[in-house]
Structure 1
Amino acid sequence: MADNWYGGNANDDADRHRGWLLGHFVDPVDGGVRATGDLEVKWGVHPAGQARPEWTAGDQRTTMLLLVSGRFRLDLTAGSTTLARQGDYVIWGPGIDHSWAAEEDSVVVTIRWPSVPGH
């Protein structure tokens, strides 16, 4: 396979990097075009009741969270919102901490930019 394209399945590929499909942490030898410092993309499958117990702290990237299915609550230092309709999304910028909880079985896509080592 050429290294400038890739076809896969998010459910299958997500296990390799805690759900992350693209980012600086993908080995360029194995990941090819998926290895990038420009952004990170995560496929998140969360059963009802699963929550992130801790809050992020001091992240200086921009993030977008997009609901594919389910009901997913996002808690931001700027307020809380619940994504309930397929396609609902939230974008937040640098300096806003977050936590989350899956109120129903949920699938979400997270996009962060840039992809910064050490985060």
Structure 2
Amino acid sequence: MGDNWYSGNAAEDGKETRGWLLGHFRPEEDVRHSTDAEVKWGIHEPGEARTEWASDADRTTMLLLVQGRFRLDLAETSITLENQGDYAVWGPGHEHKWEALTDAVVITFRWPTS
């Protein structure tokens, strides 16, 4: 790691943090430390799911599909991301859950950080 730069592999670097690469949980001296945003690399097998409703009362989230098919359920609707680059954004207060419909890779952006 350089003084103010970092290069790595998302799958490897996220092993200890459930896929989270950038955020408040990194040491303050780490260039990946941020109190403004969080970034997660998610690799999911078919059928893997978050079955309980989760809520980000004070944060906005963006979910970006890299490959595969991935369903996002919000209390009001269900969205299937199926083409590379499909994404969904939801604001504070929306409960969500999800399921990987095929092998899927997604990137999650969340702001502000906790």
**TM-score scaled by structure 1?**
0.91
Counterparts of 1:82-101 in structure 2 under 5 Å?
A: 82-101=80-99
Other-structure match for 1:102: 100
Number of matched pairs: 114
Give the equivalent residue in structure 1 for 2:53: 55
Instruction: Give the whole-Å Cα distance in 1 for the aligned partners of 2:55 and 2:16.
Output: 24
Q: 1 or 2, which has the higher helix percentage? A: 1
- Which residue does 2:22 correspond to in 1? 22
- Relative to 1, partners in 2 of residues 1:4 and 1:58: Cα closer, same or farther, differing over 3 Å? closer
Which ranges in structure 1 are unaligned for 5 or more consecutive residues?
Answer: none
**Amino acid in structure 2 at the alignment position of 1:16:** E
Residue 73 of structure 1 aligns to a residue whose secondary structure is strand
Tell me how large the CA RMSD over aligned residues is: 1.1
Provide closer, same or farther for how the CA distance between residues 58 and 7 of structure 1 changes in structure 2, counting only shifts above 3 A: closer
TM-score by length of 2: 0.95
**Partner residue of 1:40?**
38
> Greater shift after overlay, 50-59 or 79-88?
50-59
Structure 2: stretches of 5+ with no match in the other structure: none
Other structure's SS at 2:2 match: coil
Structure with more of its chain in strand, by fraction: 2
Moved more, 91-100 or 50-59: 50-59
Deviation at 1:3, TM superposition (A): 2.8
TM-superposed CA distance for 1:8, in Å, is: 0.4
Q: Distance in 1 between matches of 2:56 and 2:63?
A: 18
